[in-house]
Amino acid sequence: MYLGQAGKLAHKIIIERFVAVVRSKNASPTWSDVRTALLDFDRAGLRGLVQDLYTASKDNQAFLHARLGLGHDQLRPFKASISRWISPDLMKGQPISVSKAKKAIVDYKKAIGRPNGMAELSIFYCEEAFGFLESCSIEDESYFAALIRVYGRSLELVSSLPPSERTTYLERLDKLRSRGRHIGWGVEEELNSLWYEHHGE
């Protein structure tokens, strides 16, 4: 009886391992796979892996600097990315990318996501977008729609901050609202609507 149960158990284990192998070959690796692989690393190995990741890209460097609280201006690389993609130098043939500009904010959120940092980056996005629109003429509806969404998100982020930290951010958002009249595409009306929705005045 016991031998029979042992045989069934051994058979079950073999099947499970076979299924696991098949899945690992057919499916894309997941965090679970990475976590398992990391168990084989010692301290020096992990340090070497992080170093390789650090040198692999500037995005990784910005992430680690923010996560570890290194440097006097942890927002600078994220702002540089926002500026590059939402306010490019068209004379140099640089393309616009709303998604990549917004990705910089998402990357900061993943790295550390401090509320005041999120508010700063979101407002900076809007300021850079306004500066770009005031210096050139574009007819890209998605660009304007993204600007309005990020402005609304900025108001939400600022509203979540302690009252003592809101004033400067609100002043900047209010100035942006007044600049909307020069942009067209109903931007001023949309920003006013969002402003009054959050402040009611």
The answer to whether 174 touches 195, Cβ cutoff 8 Å, is yes
**Per-residue pLDDT, 127:** 97
114-123 pLDDT per residue, tens? 999 999 999 9
Residue-wise pLDDT for 36-64, tens only, equals 877 777 777 777 777 777 788 777 877 78
Q: What is the pLDDT of residue 137?
A: 80
Please provide the average confidence, as pLDDT, over all residues in the chain. 84
Alpha helices in the chain (DSSP H): 2-26, 31-38, 43-56, 58-68, 76-86, 98-111, 115-135, 141-159, 167-179, 187-199
Helix (H), strand (E) counts: the chain:
10, 0
Pairwise CA distance, residues 44 & 49, whole Å? 9
- With contact defined as beta carbons under 8 Å apart, do 118 and 109 qualify? yes
Does position 85 have pLDDT exceeding 80, yes or no?
yes
Cα of 11 vs its chain's centroid, Å: 47
User: pLDDT tens for residues 129-183?
Assistant: 999 999 888 888 899 999 999 999 999 999 999 999 999 999 999 999 988 888 8
The pTM assigned to this predicted structure is 0.77
Residue type, 131: G
> Hey, is 164 helix, strand or coil?
helix
Q: What is the pLDDT, as a whole number, of residue 195?
A: 94
With CA atoms as reference, report the closest residue to 182 among 136, 151, 141, 149: 136
